[in-house]
Amino acid sequence: MKNRVFFLKKNERAEMNNKILKIKKFKKIVNKIKKNKILKNKILKNKILKKKIKKRLKI
């Protein structure tokens, strides 16, 4: 990943970094959910949130 970034234009590089940051942040959230059973159950009950998380997890 890092090697590729050098070949991108500045704005493309910024977009890549944003995507990576978003994924990292999301992984943190997912890990919190995995650890926290109460939170997990709330999210499973909330279908809209569940769909969003499923979509994001495919990345």
User: What is the pTM assigned to this prediction?
Assistant: 0.35
User: Which band of pLDDT confidence, cut at 50, 70 and 90, is reported for residue 59?
Assistant: very low
pLDDT at 2 over 60: no
Tens-digit pLDDT profile for residues 12-55: 777 777 787 777 887 887 777 778 777 777 766 777 766 776 77
The reported pLDDT for the residue numbered 14 is: 75
Give the contacts of 39 (CB within 8 A, at least 6 positions apart): 32, 33
- Kindly list the distances between the CA atom of residue 33 and the CA atoms of 9, 44, 49, in Å, as whole numbers in the listed order: 36, 11, 12
